[in-house]
Amino acid sequence: MSRIVEIRGIRVGEGVPKICVSLTGRTKEELREEAELLLRTTDLDFAEWRVDFFENADSAEAVLEQLAELRNLLGDIPLIFTFRSAREGGQRELTTEAYTRLNREAAASGHADVIDIELFTGDEVVRELTAEVKRLDAVSIVSNHDFDATPAQAELVSRLRRARELGADIPKIAVMPRNPGDVLTLLAATYEVSSEQQGPIITMSMDKTGVVSRIAGGTFGSALTFGAAKNVSAPGQLAVAELKGILNALYA
Ligand SMILES: O=C1C[C@@](O)(C(=O)O)C[C@@H](O)[C@@H]1O
């Protein structure tokens, strides 16, 4: 089984950690402006559409129409489709049924390269959704976010492994540190799971204390990190040009 996940020619889990920038626009116009900004930014590898910020996020039809427009605007930039639930730090909540349907339709559209699926949606839902995403030739990130604390290393490891067991191509976890020791816990969990060589993972410790994990995470096995172009989509993200320079200095 390949340990690398290749998306539009970009090999996640190999070489310099990849950089993703989130689109957080609330309107079509804001999203167009953000997409045009990304096209002028040579420092990123992936774009993520944070659908939960979109004013019409509760309309599957409007979301799919906007997704097609973003695909057209972004050209060959790989696109991650992410609806972040309010309980995991996002802007709004959908029912499990609506969330599942939206992600399934986004994968079926062919316009999203990657679908972010939240681990806590439920094991069977996640298992079915990752299988559907795979059938539709898309890639699945199975993610978990704790905006209040950092669980123990064993719990972080367990969640990353469970994401993989449920079909994730790329498990992901983002946690909030209450002290520098929590950042070490996140990095230790990253190293423990990446050392199992089952494929790429993405991890980060958020906010100012956790910034070092967005830079040094690659040393411990995190394959991708998030940077900001116009707006951050989570606390602690660095400006993408600054992040690119640091990653190249560390890993190129
Ligand atoms: O899951 C993640 C990671 C993230 O929360 C971060 O901390 O950079 C930013 C989110 O937009 C993304 O979906």
In a mutational test of the pocket of ligand 1, which residue from 170, 204, 211, 237 has the highest number of ligand atoms less than 8 Å from its CB?
204
Is 214 flagged in the annotation as binding? yes
β-pairing, 170-175 vs 5-7, is: unpaired
Q: What is the distance in A from the centroid of ligand 1 to the CA of 226?
A: 7
> 153 a known binding residue?
no
| Ligand 1 centroid distance, CA of 234 (Å) | 6
Q: Is 33 annotated as a binding residue?
A: no
DSSP 80: E
If you ran DSSP here, which 8-state letter would residue 47 be given? E
Q: What is the pLDDT of residue 42?
A: 85
Give the atom of ligand 1 at the shortest distance from the alpha carbon of 116: 13
Active-site residue list: 145, 172
What pLDDT, on the 0 to 100 scale, is given for residue 3? Answer: 85
Ligand 1: does its nearest atom lie under 6 Å from the Cβ of 204? yes
Strand ranges across the sheet with 238-239: 202-205, 170-175, 139-146, 114-118, 79-82, 46-50, 18-23, 224-228, 238-239
Task: Report the separation in Å between the CA atom of 102 and the middle of ligand 1, taken as the mean of its atom positions.
Answer: 19
CA neighbor of 68 nearest in space, from 105, 25, 117, 101? 105
- The whole-number pLDDT of residue 32 equals 98
- pLDDT tens, N- to C-terminus, the chain (252 residues): 568 999 999 999 999 999 999 999 999 999 999 999 999 998 999 999 999 999 999 999 999 999 999 999 999 999 999 999 999 999 999 999 999 999 999 999 999 999 999 999 999 999 999 999 999 999 999 999 999 999 999 999 999 999 999 999 999 999 999 999 999 999 999 999 999 999 999 999 999 999 999 999 999 999 999 999 989 999 999 999 999 999 999 999
SS3 224: strand
SS3 71: helix
Contact 83, 101 (CB under 8 A): no
Amino acid 2: pLDDT: 60
Each residue of 13-72: pLDDT tens digit? 999 999 999 999 999 999 999 999 999 998 999 999 999 999 999 999 999 999 999 999
Structure ipTM = 0.98
Ligand 1 site, residue 233, Cβ cutoff 6 A: yes
List, in order of start, the domains of the chain with CATH numbers. Answer: 18-251 (3.20.20.70)
CA distance linking residue 185 with residue 213, whole number of Å: 11
